[in-house]
Amino acid sequence: MPEDSNNHQGFAGPSTTKKAHTKPPVIRRVSRVFLNDVNAGKATIVRDFLHQCRDVTQYFVDLFWQRQDFSADLADLATVHRGRERFGITTRLAQALAKQAKEVCRAAHANGHRKPRMRRWTSTLYSHFVTLEPFAGGHFDWAVHLTGSGAPRLTLPVHATRHLNGLLGQGWAIAKTIRLGWHKGRLFVEFVLEKARPALKTTGALVGMDSNYKHGLVFSDGQTTGDAAYETIQGFAKRQNHTHAHIKSLLGQALKQIDWSAIRVLCIEDLKHVKKFLRGTFPRRLNRRLSHWMYNFLAEKLAYCCEEQGIRLERKNPWKTSQFCRFCGKWDRRNRRGDQFVCYSCGHADHADYNAAHNLAFLELAGAYGLRSLQSSTFVQ
Ligand SMILES: [Zn+2]
């Protein structure tokens, strides 16, 4: 399970729905820093606190789920008091955890999931429980003060990471709310970084992006990136000794090569339909798992890039986009010959990946989610 998949609890990734007016005015990122210098006594206190928070949150999740209460309202006071009495915690803490439980339930319900199980010992701490300031004395960078009110009262010294400093250097500001967690015997703090959401661009190109193991990311505006990364990753998969961290760093470098300045709308494949990596050369199960993990990672990072650049991101059904000719509106299995696309009907020729990328953008131009809906409305096969 990739560590980055736990961005529920109110810090969901960027959404790609068309309801731009409902988007919050700030965009957020999370930066995780492991606290390796905290002494064992403090670490134990915080770990026990997080363990209890997990139990209390699960208790509230069970209650809300049983009541089928998926509203956005705050938990009622009677419910908060029930949790307070049962676990012997403060009202303030019970309130905060009930709020998190409601968010978790609401997100799970909206996504059609079953009742959430709180497996992670991670809690969001609002400014009632924590303050953050530069570390006095210079040995560390930040001091996270837990200030009581139901949380322990102690100070956690933090060394800033390159990731955190990078974000701060790019104009992100640290929010008052932090997340605190315990993972595999290590305590970590997640800083929440915020920035004003840029307005969506009104000028620029409508661009499609296709990705695959052979050629990496291929954009319909002519940009390509990541082909070397994909090649390296395919080597990992064969040997099965890759690390997700290494793959992330390779893909991250590839993403940095993209020039976003002329792009207004980006169309990518909807993960629901990504099956094409199945025809790769390594074991099928591993291939599928890795492909989905990589696709998820890339899609999340692309969504972040678009959010920061004011680019609208659209997900499209890639069904038959590799065999479709947008010039004559016909598709044929034979149109695709390895890396080449040549239309059997009109003779249009292109690189196969560019053709697929162009077709994703074409779908947006045609106001369609996939070729199937386009077929029924515009084209007759
Ligand atoms: Zn054609």
Each residue's pLDDT tens digit, 98-117: 999 999 999 999 989 999 99
pLDDT at 89 over 60: yes
Grade residue 229 by pLDDT with cuts at 50, 70 and 90.
confident
270 alpha carbon to ligand 1 midpoint, in Å? 25
- β-partners of residue 154 are 146
Q: What's the whole-number mean pLDDT along residues 335-346?
A: 90
Q: Can you give the pTM of this predicted structure? A: 0.78
97 alpha carbon to ligand 1 midpoint, in Å? 58
Calculate what percentage of the chain has a pLDDT beyond 90: 58
276 alpha carbon to ligand 1 midpoint, in Å? 22
325 alpha carbon to ligand 1 midpoint, in Å? 4
160 alpha carbon to ligand 1 midpoint, in Å? 55
pLDDT at 185 over 70: yes
Q: Are 207 and 265 in contact (CB under 8 A)?
A: yes
Please report the pLDDT score of residue 375 as a whole number: 66
Please report the pLDDT score of residue 260 as a whole number: 97
Q: Are 181 and 51 in contact (CB under 8 A)?
A: no
335 alpha carbon to ligand 1 midpoint, in Å? 9
d(C-alpha 369, C-alpha 245), whole Å: 33
329 alpha carbon to ligand 1 midpoint, in Å? 6
Calculate the alpha carbon distances from 74 to 50, 77, 100, 210 in Å: 22, 9, 10, 43
332 alpha carbon to ligand 1 midpoint, in Å? 9
pLDDT at 45 over 50: yes
Task: Cite the DSSP H helix spans in the chain.
Answer: 40-67, 77-87, 91-110, 162-169, 227-239, 244-256, 284-309, 352-365, 371-377
Please report the pLDDT score of residue 135 as a whole number: 87
371 alpha carbon to ligand 1 midpoint, in Å? 15
Q: What's the whole-number mean pLDDT along residues 295-321?
A: 92
- What the block records as the tokens of 166 is 């990078």
